[in-house]
Amino acid sequence: MKGKIVKCLMTLMIISAMSHNHWHVSHAFSPQVIQHGATGEDVVELQARLQYLGFFNSQIDGVFGWGTYWALRNFQYEYGMKIDGLAGEQAKNKLVEVTKYHKEFVRQNIEAGRQFTHYGGMNLEDQVKYDSSKTKAKESQQKGTTEQKAPESQNQQTEKNRQESNQITQDGELSTEAPIEPTAVNIPNGFSQNDIQLMAQTVYGEARGEPYEGQVAIASVILNRIQSPIFPDTVSGVIYEPLAFTAVADGQIYLTPDETAKRAVLDAINGWDPTGEAIYYFNPDTATSSWIWSRPQIKRIGKHIFCN
């Protein structure tokens, strides 16, 4: 309790000291060379700084995708650097030199799930799109994580004050702040996170307890079927084809999959196929159909036999 009061007082003092209303400018960038496909806080900063100069026009999401790549290359071109699409020391130093990064502004809006931009020479507040319904939902979700930063007694304060207090801690008083989480993820071209989830549920229902390659193998069979002209051409079409998978027929597909199943699916989508392009598999201990035994067998992985 004592600690809380002290913390509270400190925060209040800091807030009163910071009475003027403007967004703090910070400069961070870890020493890493940031490249295409990277995710995380450095990418958020890179995107924000590139947007500041007008090179980057998409949503700041913390994932170094194609849009960020072209923005960086155009920046390198304009400033006479080597055009390699890598944010190394030279590019980062130049960016820090010629742009400002309003970290807390970016954090606040990313965490609230708002659409916003970070262009230089424009009032920051004018660049935020407030969406009342969405913001509320997001904020209630976030309560758990922000509580640590904002003591309870401050709940009445306006949001702005809370932002100010956060940005102070940013300057080093309390250095334990969580990094800004990206709002997007990398996905293999053509697949949604939800496709991956549906496949993971199937893999988990069919092959939990199998070795890792046995799980990748099930996912590969689903993908090989999508490619095959005699099967449906969607993930859900293949999976929900009547009697195609026992886990679907008995409802085990509705269990929650573990991380291993998800990783196995991702590996399969990215190109690992331990089955040798199989489109069928069966468990020799329980298979009742004689037809399945007549298929040319490719190999056995775990307790399943894979065939053409």
Identity of the residue, 139 or 273, whose beta carbon is nearer to another protein in the bound complex = 273
Give the nearest distance from C-beta 239 to another protein in angstroms: 7
CA distance 198 to 18: 50
Q: Which of 113, 97, 18 is nearest to 62 (CA)?
A: 113
124 is a contact residue toward another protein (CB under 8 A): no
Binding residue (CB under 8 A) for another protein from 110, 168, 180, 198: 198
Q: Amino acid identity, residue 265?
A: V
- Identify which range of 2-10, 21-29, 147-155, 196-204 contacts another protein by CB under 8 A: 196-204
Give the nearest distance from C-beta 23 to another protein in angstroms: 25
- Identify which range of 5-13, 44-52, 158-166, 208-216 contacts another protein by CB under 8 A: 208-216
Q: Which of 28, 291, 16 is nearest to 172 (CA)?
A: 28
197 is a contact residue toward another protein (CB under 8 A): yes
- CA-based Rg of the chain, rounded to a whole angstrom? 26
79 is a contact residue toward another protein (CB under 8 A): no
176 is a contact residue toward another protein (CB under 8 A): no
Identity of the residue, 38 or 150, whose beta carbon is nearer to another protein in the bound complex = 38
Give the nearest distance from C-beta 204 to another protein in angstroms: 12
Quote the Cα angle for 288-246-210, to 5°: 95
Strand pairing category for 304-307 and 128-129:
unpaired
Strand 304-307: give its sheet, edge to edge.
Answer: 280-282, 304-307, 297-301
37 is a contact residue toward another protein (CB under 8 A): yes
Identity of the residue, 155 or 236, whose beta carbon is nearer to another protein in the bound complex = 236
Binding residue (CB under 8 A) for another protein from 6, 9, 25, 32: 32
Identity of the residue, 148 or 227, whose beta carbon is nearer to another protein in the bound complex = 227
CA distance 209 to 42: 38
The most distant pair of C-alpha atoms in the chain lies apart, rounded to whole Å, by: 81
